[in-house]
């Protein structure tokens, strides 16, 4: 088969892959178009002091917040520490040994609303306590008071009652339990959900009640059709296990703790932008807007209302509706499908064939027998992917870097001619087809809800530069082969450049995922975080840095240097930069929780912005840097 027919087979195969991916992505596309409802939540215990400072009741304050956009309220189960600090209607009293008894006396305070219900709940929650005949409703626990510090005592009855009066959905947070009390936490959840409009729940504290066995809470979730709030970036012990067992009955939630707000010095505007970003980029549907930490500024209920209104308006500007969302995948069947599996398998084999041909392992000759073998092989690989999850993960992890490598080499294939625009168009289409094939196969709840992580993200960043370097040394794209480089003394410039490259690749690998919170990581400078936020405001879908600031500018600068015959020994740096840019393009499609429309818009923005920045860079090199170097060269002689 001639080279032209080989190319026809390659592009025909990619077209078939794109069609298979489009078919496989239809359910996800429909879901994302329908899933546009986001709830703004507030914490009842944070609203209460603001209400009292304004001379209002909690009901009046929440009613005003509801009018401005609040869709639900977080109500927690109060702990022993809360009771010790005067929250709620339970009290703890240490009983001394000289009284003939020892332990902690837990009781409901006189005048408590629904005192009978609270006493019943107290007895249920702290099962094993002995009722004292001298004090009705009191329990004597043979435990020191400090052991009850983080343990749930009774639900916050004020918050539950206020939310019910206002018909506000409740985000309920059961508190941790002592080991032998874990079953009572599940029963308490059932009682509260039966009496009040609890619409979602998530355990509070450092450890989920019952951990490592969280099956009881997960069973209650499914029995009550009550979603679990999947709290983003939570380090709570047992939360991942609960999310896995409750899936797909999950509602992703994002909030910022007071500790993080103070540690990172987050402004209120940055907080709102971060919450909106969570909804836009990561499909989070519950946004908990907290008040500032205590003693910070003159924050009031009026300002809180304005912030809620601004957040709701920002969500509407992004095309969302404020209201109570539903669990996206509950009630449907989502599994790996045959056609997307074949498409991903075909991508893997096509890219392996292309790279083997480029480095000379596979010759240019390609017959119809080879084409049939490739088609049959893709069917076998697809069958293995459907039957063995490990095979599916391996294929995905290998396909992504190979797609990025082929796209990079196609864009930089100066030997075979063709205009830069034509090569770039082919490279972008290859990256898009490969990325869509990966997205189509892995667009199932386990990956879209981030219960499982895609195995190829870091590999896609690290492997393409190495494969491009191997290709260039093998084909003498670099002026010297690897053998020649190793056989001569190293040059200081090359050693320094190599060190910079290794450090850069390590930084890229470490930083990948570090800014997923939407804020700067310890490795991200402040100006970069500000630039990210500005790009999001201007372009809606912020292009990825490795594309707009590295990949496309390196490609244009490389083309200029090749055309003019300059810097032949150091062009490899630019080629590696191009490979990192296309790696980022493919990786964008591996964020299965991000809407496809946003990914495609992000890639479009990255393309035109990167080319524009590259044109400016080439102009600067052509008219400023090169003339300056020519003037300095005689001085250095």
Question: What would the DSSP string read from start to end of 92-149?
Answer: EEEE-GGGT--EEEEEEPTT-TTHHHHHHHHHHHTTTPEEPSSSTT-EEESS-GGGGT
| Radius of gyration of the chain, Cα coordinates, nearest whole angstrom | 30
Q: For residue 572, what pLDDT is reported?
A: 87
492 vs 319: which has the higher pLDDT: 319
- What region does 368 belong to: left with phi over 0, alpha with psi -120 to 50, or beta? alpha
Look at residue 448 and tell me whether its pLDDT is greater than 60.
yes
Please list, in sequence order, all residues whose beta carbon lies within 8 angstroms of the beta carbon of residue 501, skipping any fewer than 6 positions away: 573, 576
Q: In the 8-state DSSP scheme, what is residue 43?
A: E
Look at residue 157 and tell me whether its pLDDT is greater than 90.
yes
Q: For residue 636, what pLDDT is reported?
A: 46
Q: For residue 133, what pLDDT is reported?
A: 43
DSSP H helices, 449-570, are 457-474, 482-487, 492-511, 526-539, 545, 552-564
Burial class (CB in 10 A: 0-12, 13-18, 19+), 34: exposed
Look at residue 129 and tell me whether its pLDDT is greater than 90.
no
Residue 467, in any domain of the structure: yes
Question: What are the angstrom distances between the C-alpha of 87 and each of 14, 84, 539?
Answer: 63, 7, 46
Q: Are residues 235 and 345 in the same domain?
A: no
| Helices then strands, each counted (H, E), the chain | 26, 13
Q: Are residues 385 and 434 in the same domain?
A: yes
Q: Are residues 28 and 45 in the same domain?
A: no
Q: For residue 134, what pLDDT is reported?
A: 44
Look at residue 586 and tell me whether its pLDDT is greater than 60.
yes
**Gap between the Cα atoms of 348 and 356, Å rounded:** 12
Poorest-pLDDT segment among 24-38, 121-135, 379-393, 510-524: 510-524
152 vs 499: which has the higher pLDDT: 152
**Rounded to 5°, angle at Cα 37 from 32 and 43:** 135
Structural domain containing residue 573:
3-32+332-636
Q: For residue 476, what pLDDT is reported?
A: 85
Q: Report residue 107: phi and psi, to 5°.
A: -145, 165
Mean of the pLDDT values across residues 175-194? 90
Please list, in sequence order, all residues whose beta carbon lies within 8 angstroms of the beta carbon of residue 79, skipping any fewer than 6 positions away: 148, 149, 150, 151, 152, 153, 175, 176, 205
CATH of the domain at 177: 3.20.20.150
Q: For residue 414, what pLDDT is reported?
A: 86
Q: Are residues 450 and 314 in the same domain?
A: no
Name the domain boundary from 322, 348, 370: 322
Q: For residue 517, what pLDDT is reported?
A: 40
Q: For residue 342, what pLDDT is reported?
A: 96
**Gap between the Cα atoms of 19 and 26, Å rounded:** 11
Look at residue 98 and tell me whether its pLDDT is greater than 70.
no
pLDDT-derived band at 325 (thresholds 50, 70, 90) equals: very high
- Write the DSSP string, 608-628: HHHHHHHHHHHHHIIIIIHHH
Look at residue 366 and tell me whether its pLDDT is greater than 80.
no
* Average pLDDT score over the chain: 87
DSSP H helices, 325-419, are 338-358, 368-387, 389-411
The two structure tokens encoding residue 525: 């400078």
Q: Are residues 301 and 414 in the same domain?
A: no
Q: Are residues 362 and 468 in the same domain?
A: yes
Residue among 433, 384, 419 nearest 10 (CA): 433
Bridging pattern class, strands 198-201 and 170-173: parallel
Residue among 68, 75, 60 nearest 40 (CA): 68
Query: The sheet that has 130-131: what strands, in order across it?
Result: 90-95, 103-108, 139-141, 130-131
The two structure tokens encoding residue 521: 């990581």
Q: Are residues 179 and 204 in the same domain?
A: yes
pLDDT-derived band at 206 (thresholds 50, 70, 90) equals: very high
Task: State pTM to two decimals.
Answer: 0.88
Q: Report residue 201: phi and psi, to 5°.
A: -145, 160
Mean of the pLDDT values across residues 469-487? 77
Q: For residue 364, what pLDDT is reported?
A: 62
Contact 588, 524 (CB under 8 A): no
Q: Report residue 366: phi and psi, to 5°.
A: -150, 110
Q: Are residues 265 and 381 in the same domain?
A: no
**Rounded to 5°, angle at Cα 495 from 490 and 497:** 135
Residue 139, in any domain of the structure: no
Residue 306, in any domain of the structure: yes
Look at residue 139 and tell me whether its pLDDT is greater than 80.
yes
The two structure tokens encoding residue 572: 């490899």
Residue 100, in any domain of the structure: no
**Gap between the Cα atoms of 151 and 484, Å rounded:** 69
Residue 151, in any domain of the structure: no
Name the domain boundary from 322, 353, 384: 322
**Gap between the Cα atoms of 487 and 502, Å rounded:** 21
Q: Are residues 578 and 491 in the same domain?
A: yes
pLDDT-derived band at 220 (thresholds 50, 70, 90) equals: very high
Bridging pattern class, strands 70-79 and 152-155: antiparallel
Q: For residue 369, what pLDDT is reported?
A: 81
Residue 149, in any domain of the structure: no
Q: Are residues 263 and 242 in the same domain?
A: yes
Q: Are residues 271 and 231 in the same domain?
A: yes
Contact 349, 374 (CB under 8 A): yes
Burial class (CB in 10 A: 0-12, 13-18, 19+), 161: middle
Q: For residue 465, what pLDDT is reported?
A: 92
Residue 134, in any domain of the structure: no
Q: For residue 592, what pLDDT is reported?
A: 93
Bridging pattern class, strands 103-108 and 139-141: antiparallel
What's the total number of domains in the chain?
Answer: 2
Poorest-pLDDT segment among 111-120, 221-230, 291-300, 526-535: 526-535
Residue entry with tokens 């709102």: 272
**Rounded to 5°, angle at Cα 516 from 513 and 519:** 125
Over pLDDT 90: what percentage of the chain?
56
Residue 443, in any domain of the structure: yes
Look at residue 5 and tell me whether its pLDDT is greater than 50.
yes
330 vs 492: which has the higher pLDDT: 330
Q: For residue 566, what pLDDT is reported?
A: 85
Residue 237 CA from chain centroid, whole number: 19
Please list, in sequence order, all residues whose beta carbon lies within 8 angstroms of the beta carbon of residue 470, skipping any fewer than 6 positions away: 359
The two structure tokens encoding residue 30: 């429909």
**Gap between the Cα atoms of 600 and 96, Å rounded:** 68
Residue entry with tokens 């956009």: 69
Mean of the pLDDT values across residues 443-462? 88
Q: For residue 6, what pLDDT is reported?
A: 82
Residue among 259, 392, 416, 254 nearest 336 (CA): 392
Contact 291, 301 (CB under 8 A): no
Q: For residue 458, what pLDDT is reported?
A: 84
Name the domain boundary from 322, 342, 363: 322
Q: pLDDT tens across 392-444, in order? A: 999 999 999 999 999 999 999 988 767 889 999 999 999 999 999 999 999 99
Q: For residue 156, what pLDDT is reported?
A: 95
Q: pLDDT tens across 234-290, in order? A: 899 999 999 999 999 999 999 998 888 888 888 899 899 999 999 998 999 999 999
Q: Are residues 455 and 597 in the same domain?
A: yes
Look at residue 96 and tell me whether its pLDDT is greater than 80.
no
Q: In the 8-state DSSP scheme, what is residue 207?
A: B
Contact 166, 133 (CB under 8 A): no
**Residue 100 exposure: Cα atoms within 13 Å on the Cβ side:** 0
- Three state DSSP letters for 277-290: HHHHHHCCCEEECC
């Amino acid at each position: 088969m001639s080279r032209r027919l080989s190319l026809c087979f390659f592009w025909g195969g990619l077209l078939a892959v794109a069609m298979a991916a489009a078919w496989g992505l239809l359910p996800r596309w429909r879901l994302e178009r329908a899933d546009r409802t986001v709830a703004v939540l507030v914490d009842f215990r944070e609203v209460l002091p603001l209400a009292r400072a304004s001379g209002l009741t909690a009901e009046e304050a929440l009613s005003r917040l509801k009018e401005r956009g609040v869709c639900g309220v977080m109500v927690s189960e109060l702990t022993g520490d809360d009771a010790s600090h005067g929250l709620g209607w339970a009290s703890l009293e240490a009983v001394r040994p000289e009284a003939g008894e020892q332990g902690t006396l837990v009781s409901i305070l006189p005048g408590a609303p629904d005192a009978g219900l609270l006493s019943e709940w107290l007895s249920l929650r702290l099962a094993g306590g002995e009722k004292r005949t001298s004090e009705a409703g009191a329990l004597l626990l043979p435990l020191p008071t400090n052991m009850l510090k983080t343990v749930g005592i009774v639900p916050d009855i004020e918050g539950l009652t206020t939310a019910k009066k206002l018909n506000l959905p409740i985000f309920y947070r059961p508190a941790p339990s002592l080991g032998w009390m874990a079953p009572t936490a599940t029963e308490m959840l059932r009682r509260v959900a039966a009496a009040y409009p609890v619409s979602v729940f998530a355990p509070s504290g450092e450890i989920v009640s019952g951990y490592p066995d969280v099956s009881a809470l997960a069973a209650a979730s499914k029995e009550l059709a009550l979603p679990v709030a999947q709290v983003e970036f939570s380090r709570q012990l047992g939360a991942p296990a609960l999310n896995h067992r409750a899936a797909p009955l999950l509602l992703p939630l994002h909030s910022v703790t007071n500790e993080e707000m103070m540690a990172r010095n987050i402004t209120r505007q940055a907080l709102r932008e971060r919450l909106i970003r969570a909804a836009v980029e990561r499909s989070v549907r519950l946004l908990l807007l907290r008040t500032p930490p205590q003693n910070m500024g003159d924050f009031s209920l009026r300002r809180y209302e304005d912030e809620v209104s601004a957040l709701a308006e920002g969500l509407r500007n992004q095309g969302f509706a404020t209201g109570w969302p539903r669990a996206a995948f509950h009630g449907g069947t989502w599994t790996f499908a045959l056609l997307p599996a074949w498409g991903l398998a075909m991508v893997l084999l096509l890219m392996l064939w292309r790279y083997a041909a480029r480095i000379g392992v596979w010759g240019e000759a390609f017959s119809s027998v080879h084409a049939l073998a490739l088609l049959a092989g893709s069917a076998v690989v697809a069958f293995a992917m459907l039957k063995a999850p490990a095979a599916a993960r391996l294929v995905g992890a290998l396909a992504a870097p190979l797609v990025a490598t082929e796209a990079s080499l196609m864009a930089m294939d100066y030997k075979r001619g063709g205009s830069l625009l034509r090569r770039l168009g082919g490279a972008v289409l290859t990256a898009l087809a490969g990325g869509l094939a990966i997205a189509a196969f892995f667009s199932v709840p386990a990956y879209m809800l981030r219960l499982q992580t895609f195995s190829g993200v870091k590999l896609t960043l690290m492997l393409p530069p190495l494969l491009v370097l191997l290709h260039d040394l093998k084909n003498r794209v670099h002026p010297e082969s690897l053998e020649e480089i190793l056989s001569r003394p190293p040059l200081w410039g090359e050693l320094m450049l190599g060190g910079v490259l290794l450090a850069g690749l390590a930084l890229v690998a470490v930083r990948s995922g570090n800014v997923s919170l939407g804020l700067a990581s310890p490795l991200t400078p402040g100006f970069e975080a500000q630039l990210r936020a500005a790009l999001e405001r201007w372009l809606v879908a912020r292009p990825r840095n490795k594309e707009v600031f590295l990949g496309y500018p390196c490609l244009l600068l490389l083309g200029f240097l090749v055309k003019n015959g300059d810097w032949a020994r150091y062009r490899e740096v630019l080629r590696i930069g191009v490979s990192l840019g296309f790696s980022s393009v493919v990786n964008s499609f591996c964020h299965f929780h991000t809407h496809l429309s946003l990914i495609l818009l992000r890639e479009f923005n990255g393309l035109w912005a990167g080319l524009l920045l590259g044109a400016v860079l080439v102009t600067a090199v052509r008219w400023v840097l090169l003339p300056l170097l020519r003037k300095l060269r005689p001085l250095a002689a």
